[in-house]
């Protein structure tokens, strides 16, 4: 497809949007919604392509944008999410209320990347740069090593938790980079091998040859010590659905889960999360595999969990209630805008949360559960609801300000 069909039309404006154009677009969408984006410019009286209108609305004019500088918490969350999701900016943005993928992408490229490098962390792999160098050496060397130890999946951990990958088999499973979020997730079979081969119901902390805690030592990710990031509880509750690349709050794992889902999920979440390093010295739970399903209990059995509000535990799983999902598209725009967009109106964080998280992919966020992502996000929104309303006000203030710049 490539270029949008409307872009072929002549005399379409490009470049920065003028306040007049913004006003036209806002007025149009306020009254009629965007509907088909390709028809928006014509209906709104704009010499722009629909794509440009969409972008302008989503990235700048949309009323629920927070704008302003990113907080440290937001930055931390972005880093943690990036460790899991990679450059999936839209997915990252979906978990940061009021932030756009573009905004986050820009922040990452202009600021966070640099900060991470300064702290000796490779922004792509979220590993120590020195480790990445070592890996490259190991990778290069391994190509010249015969498959002497083929069949063994053991890993020898050397002092200081550095690791040596002994088997080419393992390297084959993780070409280039074991933990790169951009690379394919570890296979279902791999984690079966890693965690549940020795016992049908096994306790991770005491399994040999490779228990979970040891395996986590792979990760030298320790943002807490390396860069002083706070350990955010948010990501800890997210597991990964390998089939659609969406994260799922852990609450939903209480029911039957197939290995196809859960193992890659665990792998992605644990392998790439900053919690991994911190968790590496602790037993964090039990994996049980039976037939096609795997149950997982991640226990609060270490100081790590207590110290950092790590809430994998199944204790609150049963309490969760599935939030009623609302498709944003079902919301009548005029109503939406009149009730939420207009300055001074109180924003119902409940609805905002739904708007932000009800995606076509069907991500289901729960409203309860201690320290769950949703809870955290709700907390963000609840400080107070007026915070969001305030951002709306700021938005409206910004429009006349913008006009002022040109007058």
Chain residues binding DNA by CB under 7 A are: 1-7, 13-17, 35-38, 48, 50-52, 54-56, 59-60, 69, 87-91, 101-103, 105-107, 109-111, 114, 405
Q: 248 - beta bridge partners?
A: 239
What six digits make up the tokens of 230?
A: 């706070």
Question: In the complex, what is the shortest distance from the CB of residue 27 to DNA, in angstroms, rounded to a whole number?
Answer: 17
- The CA distance from 69 to 290, in Å, is 48
- CB nearer to DNA: pick between 108 and 253: 108
Distance between CA atoms of residues 267 and 296, nearest Å = 13
Q: Of 59 and 346, which has the nearer Cβ to DNA?
A: 59
**Nearer Cβ to DNA, position 185 or 369?**
185
Q: How many CB atoms lie within 10 A of CB 97?
A: 23
Question: Residue 127 in 3-state DSSP?
Answer: strand
Q: Considering just the CA atoms, what is the radius of gyration of the chain in Å?
A: 24
Kindly give, in sequence order, each residue whose CB lies less than 8 Å from that of residue 160, ignoring residues fewer than 6 positions away: none
Closest distance of CB 78 from DNA, Å: 12
Q: Where are the alpha helices (DSSP H) in 174-332?
A: 188-195, 212-216, 223-226, 259-272, 275-279, 303-307
Strand partners, 287: 202, 296
| Angstrom distance (rounded) from CA 116 to CA 129 | 10
Token pair belonging to 222 = 């320790």
* Sign (positive or negative) of CA dihedral 202, 208, 209, 213: positive
Least Cβ distance, residue 33 to DNA (angstroms)? 10
- How far is Cα 220 from Cα 126, in angstroms, rounded to an integer? 9
Of 55 and 192, the one with the shorter C-beta distance to DNA is: 55
* Cβ distance to DNA smaller for residue 7 or 399: 7
Residue 148 CB, shortest distance to DNA, in Å, is 38
Four-residue CA torsion sign, 51, 52, 53, 54? positive
- Cβ distance to DNA smaller for residue 7 or 138: 7
**Residue among 112 and 121 whose Cβ is closer to DNA:** 112
Shortest Cβ 111–DNA spacing (Å) = 4
Q: How many CB atoms lie within 10 A of CB 302?
A: 17
- Least Cβ distance, residue 43 to DNA (angstroms): 12
> What's the closest the beta carbon of residue 343 comes to DNA, in angstroms?
19
Closest approach of Cβ 106 to DNA, in Å? Answer: 4
Shortest CB 395 distance to DNA, Å: 11
Helix (H) or strand (E) holding 42: helix 40-44
Closest C-alpha to 377, from 273, 233, 247, 278: 233
- Residue whose CB is less far from DNA, 133 or 327: 327
Q: Which is nearer to DNA, 66 or 250 (CB)?
A: 66
């Amino acid at each position: 497809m490539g270029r949008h069909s409307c872009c072929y039309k002549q005399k379409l404006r490009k470049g920065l949007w003028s306040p007049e154009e913004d006003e036209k677009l806002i007025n149009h969408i306020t009254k009629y919604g965007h509907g088909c984006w390709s028809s928006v410019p014509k209906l709104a009286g704009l010499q722009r392509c629909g794509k440009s209108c969409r972008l302008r609305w989503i990235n700048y004019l949309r009323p629920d944008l927070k704008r302003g500088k990113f907080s440290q918490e937001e930055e931390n969350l972005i880093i943690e999410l990036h460790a899991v999701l990679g450059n999936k900016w839209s997915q990252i943005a979906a978990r940061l209320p009021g932030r756009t993928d573009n905004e986050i992408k820009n922040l990452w490229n202009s600021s966070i990347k640099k900060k991470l490098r300064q702290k000796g962390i490779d922004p792509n792999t979220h590993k120590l740069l020195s480790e990445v160098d070592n890996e490259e050496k190991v990778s290069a060397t391994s190509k010249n090593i015969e498959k002497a130890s083929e069949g063994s999946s053991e890993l020898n951990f050397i002092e200081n938790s550095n690791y040596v990958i002994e088997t080419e088999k393992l390297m084959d499973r993780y070409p280039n980079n074991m933990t790169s979020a951009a690379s394919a997730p570890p296979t279902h079979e791999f984690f079966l091998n890693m965690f549940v081969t020795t016992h049908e119901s096994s306790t991770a902390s005491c399994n040999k040859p490779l228990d979970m805690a040891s395996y986590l030592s792979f990760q030298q990710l320790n943002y807490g010590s390396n860069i002083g990031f706070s350990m955010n509880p948010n990501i800890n509750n997210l597991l990964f659905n390998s089939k659609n690349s969406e994260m799922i709050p852990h609450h939903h794992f209480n029911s039957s889960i197939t290995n196809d889902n859960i193992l890659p999920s665990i792998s992605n979440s644990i392998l790439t999360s900053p919690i991994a390093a911190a968790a590496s010295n602790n037993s964090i739970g039990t994996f049980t595999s039976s037939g096609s399903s795997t149950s997982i209990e991640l226990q609060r059995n270490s100081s790590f969990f207590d110290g950092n509000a790590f809430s994998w535990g199944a204790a609150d799983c049963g309490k969760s209630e599935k939030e009623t999902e609302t498709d944003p598209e079902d919301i009548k725009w005029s109503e939406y805008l009149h009730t939420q967009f207009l300055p001074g109106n109180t924003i119902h964080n409940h609805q905002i949360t739904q708007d932000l998280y009800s995606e076509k992919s069907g991500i289901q966020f729960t409203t309860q559960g201690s320290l769950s992502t949703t809870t955290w996000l709700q907390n963000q929104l609840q400080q107070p609801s007026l915070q969001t309303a305030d951002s709306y006000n700021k938005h409206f203030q910004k429009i006349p300000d913008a006009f002022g710049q040109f007058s």
